[in-house]
Amino acid sequence: MNGSTGERKTISFTLNGESVSMEVTARERLLDLLRYRLGLPGTKEGCGEGECGACTVLWNGLPVDSCLVPAFQAEGRTIETIESVDPAALGPFHEGGATQCGACTPGVVITARWILDNPGLLKTHTVRELMAGNLCRCTGYDGIIESIEAALDTQGGN
Amino acid sequence: MRRREGLAKLTGRELYTDDLAVPGCLWGATVRSPAPRGRIREIRYSDSVDWSEFTVVDHRDIPGPNEILLIESDQPVLAADRIRHMHEPVALIAHPSRDAVRRALGAISILVDPEPPILDFLADPGPEQIQHGSDNVFSRLEISKGDVDRVLANAARIIEGEYHTGAQEHVSIEGQAMLAWCDGDVLVVKGSMQCPYYVQKALIHALARDSDHVRVIQAPTGGGFGGKEEYPSTVALHAALLTLKAGAPVKIVFERGEEMVATTKRHPARIRHRTAVDGDGRLLAQDIDVVLDAGAYATLSPVVLSRAIIHAAGPYHCDHVRIRGRAVLTNAVPFGAFRGFGAPQTQFAGERHMDRIARIMAIDPVDLRRQNLLRDGQSTSTGQVISDGTDREAVLDRALELSDYRARSDAHAEFNWTHPYLRRGINFATIFHGAGFTGSGEVYLDSRVHLAGLPDGTVEVLTANSEMGQGATTIFVQITCEHLGLAPDEVIVADPDTARVPNSGPTVASRTAMIVGRLIERAGDDLIAQLGLAPGTRGSAVREAIIAWHQVHSGEALLGTAVYKPPSTVQWDDEKYRGDAYGAFAWATYVAEVEVDLRTCGVRVTDFVAVQEIGKVLNETLARGQIQGGVAQGIGWALFEECRWENGAMANPQLTNYILPTSADLPPLRVEFLENPYEHGAQGAKGIGELPIDGPAPAIVNAIATAMGVDPCRIPLTPEVLMQLESGVPR
């Protein structure tokens, strides 16, 4: 896709379990589509260049930085944002000090959900390694890592 | 108690400034200077843009003085004729489309007739580089105790050292963000900030309005660390000027790159020590010189310098101390508040120096600290007699025990003999941090707090102190519940909004739990008194009395009030810089273990233990989170976070090349608290927020020195710097 800024395309994808059809421009980022046009401001922008992970969403079940994804690429995909996360599943995170200022938190929770959905990852990686794509400036990461480990225990994974 | 707003944050439902959908809102942006110093010849707006679609503001649109109100008010809201640093705000534009704003910024050129900048804060300025007073020094301070010159002249042994610390960017994950609009004749500004009343005062001053016509509301704030102490006044003024001219709401949200080139950072510093020591390692005299790079405007540099020098001599007793400090102008982006506020710089130097003294004198570094640690009845460099009853040696001992310091030191020495390319080391730093404003600062703040009894019996806490992740809201609820015997759902906390809350001072200086928390308790006492209840009444009796009061006084407000009063024991002399610098100090020993790979000079922190005495721990999870977060920032400052400079601006303004620690870069950060309740703090609490950034850098660099047998005196200690040291290249 090398269209000019003005080029438009209608795309369809599944967002948080519902079908969405949107006209997007070639330059539009998935992050902006979610935040400013679909009314889902839970996904945050931290750096705009795929370093901090604040904008992480699940893309066909895998965590990606939505600031790096052109919106048109969402055609036919399944995307889940922080708004899809069940608050009832977040007890260990609330208890364990996984959030402080909250700006990195949606991305952290999405990556955590990827780990919780795929506990087999822990055969080759530690939680600490798997979380390295999400920068947090408040917690020093222990609150996040311990919360994920507690949530894994709760769901009987590991 | 769990974090009050925790679930809202975990589910992404907390709405930060950029998340607020505002109909008809314009996007504002700042046009910035392309040169570090000079005279503005012309601002050229290219014909490629239809400027009639834009709101454009420059200094001529400022109704009042073109000054950002602060200590010196020397910084213009928008540069009028002179430029003093790269990326200095010169003009503002706004448009309904954010893309259009971005494109238009590229169609504006500022033509500058250059003048010679001064970019090295340690160089003597030439006559043509003088821009402040006769010598570019914004502030000069001196602490003097005893007779340093006499002791140094007679000393058998003087150990000298020179230490350098670099700038540090805050990198709160939410950057600067501000929304402004007009509600009738009231200007309203809502945004990401630590100190709504600072912002309100700045708006009143430069916009020539009174306080009834300027309302400031703190929006949920995604991290501060000092970066949202004074800087938001600038962003608020810019958004306000645009909204006043456009007649529409305006939002300014910094992207990461703008945040990193344009906003304040931690002051770079050079600290020199000359220390007289006797054969047993007793400190006989400390002569310390501190220089801070202030950048282009004074901002908060005089008070950062103050805290820097007061912490420079460390938590030690010495009868003869002289500390001279100065904050000097350069044509760099102004440096400003950052967690620790000068103390991390001087304590890096002080603890690195203690480690060098131990090495040079062949004294055990633990014995050296033990020998000199302040004991009750002894005094700090300002003559503040310490009598808090904290066992500071016990803090040191517990940290050494928890880290298994002795056994690991021995094991590492053996490992280092045999391993071809890995070197391990364990070492520590002993630190302290004063909580609250320095000296008479808290008295001048004249902070006040309200506790309102509402008609349904709920108690509302009204303060200007902001939640920015540290847990202020939760702590305020907890203190109120504890003091009045209420349940968490019987207490609410008002949003910091200058139209509703009293000025309880800024959310800075580790003062919120200790000082504002204590005011909440006293406002609770006042509420009880107003209800005609006996002092100490708690629980349902309070709630019922509030409901009954409202049945009699329908439509009236029931407010308990407290105004700050200094503890009678605290005495400070602003002129001589002597006396009780802080109501309370927190005390700590931090132990770091490192492994250095000699092939790459990469450093891994393999263990970290932080033991501190912070008075009473109010909330274990929040307190632990403060320590771990501060330690992580300190590790970043020590090893990874390097601001590279070009013309006085950051040349690496991206998270791609300004490296923050990730989870994989850090070991579990082990935290333990020793408690010694402080009688003037809420429930015995002392300040906690800044302490943890003081210790990691010296502990880690001391551990690297031990591991490698080198003597690093500069942070960030990147692999490049370490490699030069290791290969014997002087640095």
**Pick among B590, B662, B669 to test the A interface (most A CBs inside 10 A):** B662
Residue B379's φ and ψ, nearest 5 degrees, are -125, 155
Q: Which helix (H) or strand (E) holds B597?
A: strand B584-597
Chain centre to alpha carbon of residue A135: 13
- The predicted pLDDT at position B650 comes to 98
Average pLDDT, chain B: 97
CA distance A53 to A12: 25
CA distance B191 to B652: 27
List C-alpha distances in Å: B446 to B343, B441, B506: 25, 9, 11
Q: Which residues, 6 or more positions from B366, have their beta carbon under 8 angstroms from its beta carbon?
A: B396, B400, B405
- The predicted pLDDT at position A140 comes to 98
Q: Which residues, 6 or more positions from B151, have their beta carbon under 8 angstroms from its beta carbon?
A: B276, B284, B285, B320
Q: Which residue has the tokens 């962003």?
A: B235
Residue B235's φ and ψ, nearest 5 degrees, are -65, -40
What are the structure tokens assigned to B568, written together?
């009678």
CA distance B211 to B408: 60
What are the structure tokens assigned to B354, written together?
């203690």
CB atoms within 10 A of CB B419: 13
Strand order across the B38-45 sheet = B82-83, B38-45, B108-114
Ranges assigned E (strand) in B124-185? 137-145, 158-165, 177-183
pTM: 0.97
Cα angle for residues B504, B262, B303 (degrees, 5° grid): 40
Count of alpha carbons within 13 Å of B638, Cβ hemisphere only? 32
> Using CB atoms within 10 A of its CB, is residue B19 exposed (0-12), middle (13-18) or buried (19+)?
buried
CA distance B510 to B507: 8
Look at B469 and A42 and tell me if their CB atoms are within 8 Å: no
Tens digit of pLDDT for each residue in B593-647? 999 999 999 999 999 999 999 999 999 999 999 999 999 999 999 999 999 999 9
List chain A pLDDT tens, one digit each, 158 residues. Answer: 333 456 899 999 999 999 999 999 999 999 999 999 999 999 999 999 999 999 999 999 999 999 999 999 999 999 999 999 999 999 999 999 999 999 999 999 999 999 999 999 999 999 999 999 999 999 999 999 999 999 999 987 44
What are the structure tokens assigned to B30, written together?
């700042």
A57 at interface of B, judged by CB pairs closer than 8 A: no
DSSP 3-state percent helix, strand, coil across chain A (nearest 5) = 35, 20, 45
Look at A137 and B225 and tell me if their CB atoms are within 8 Å: yes
Residue B652 near residue B643 (C-beta atoms within 8 A): yes
What are the structure tokens assigned to B18, written together?
């950029």
Q: What is the mean pLDDT of each run of 10 residues along chain B (731 residues)?
A: 97 98 97 98 97 98 98 96 98 97 97 98 97 98 98 97 98 98 98 98 98 98 98 98 98 98 98 97 98 98 98 98 98 98 98 98 97 98 97 98 98 97 98 95 95 98 98 98 98 98 97 97 98 97 98 97 92 92 97 97 98 98 98 98 98 98 98 97 97 98 97 97 79 39
Q: Which residues, 6 or more positions from B127, have their beta carbon under 8 angstroms from its beta carbon?
A: none
- The predicted pLDDT at position A158 comes to 43
Residue B192 near residue B496 (C-beta atoms within 8 A): no
Nearest alpha-carbon partner for B671 in B607, B612, B587, B592: B612
A151 at interface of B, judged by CB pairs closer than 8 A: no
CA-based nearest residue in chain A for residue B176: A46
Look at A51 and B654 and tell me if their CB atoms are within 8 Å: yes
> Using CB atoms within 10 A of its CB, is residue B213 exposed (0-12), middle (13-18) or buried (19+)?
middle
B contacts of A26 (beta carbons < 8 Å): none
CA distance B196 to B494: 13
Cα angle for residues B279, B280, B283 (degrees, 5° grid): 90
* Chain B closest-CA separation from residue A90 CA (Å): 7
- The predicted pLDDT at position B529 comes to 98
A contacts of B665 (beta carbons < 8 Å): 132
Closest residue to A140, CB basis, from B15, B468, B631: B631
* Residues paired with B43 in a beta bridge: B110
Chain centre to alpha carbon of residue B42: 37
Residue A22's φ and ψ, nearest 5 degrees, are -140, 145
* N residues, chain A: 158
CA distance B478 to B135: 50
What are the structure tokens assigned to A127, written together?
């939680």
For residue B721, give the 3-state DSSP assignment: helix
- The predicted pLDDT at position B469 comes to 98
Look at A44 and B222 and tell me if their CB atoms are within 8 Å: yes
The per-residue b/e assignment along B622-654, b for 16 or more CB within 10 angstroms, e otherwise, is bbbbbbbbbbbbbbbbbbbbbbebebbbbebbe
Residue B291 near residue B326 (C-beta atoms within 8 A): yes
Instruction: Please write down the HEC assignment for all residues of B222-260.
Output: CCCCCCCCCCHHHHHHHHHHHHHHHCCCEEEECCHHHHH
Give the ipTM. Answer: 0.97
- The predicted pLDDT at position A6 comes to 66
**DSSP letter for each residue of B606-617:** EEEEEEEE-BS-
Residue B147 near residue B276 (C-beta atoms within 8 A): no
Closest residue to A94, CB basis, from B10, B13, B664: B10
Chain centre to alpha carbon of residue B173: 16
List C-alpha distances in Å: A109 to A102, B7, B110, B173, B296: 10, 11, 44, 15, 41
Sign of the alpha-carbon torsion through B231, B232, B237, B238: positive
Look at A138 and B656 and tell me if their CB atoms are within 8 Å: no
Look at A102 and B655 and tell me if their CB atoms are within 8 Å: no
Residue B684 near residue A149 (C-beta atoms within 8 A): no
Q: Which helix (H) or strand (E) holds B63?
A: none
Residue B125's φ and ψ, nearest 5 degrees, are -70, 140
Q: Which residue has the tokens 């109704």?
A: B63
A69 at interface of B, judged by CB pairs closer than 8 A: no
What are the structure tokens assigned to B730, written together?
């002087």
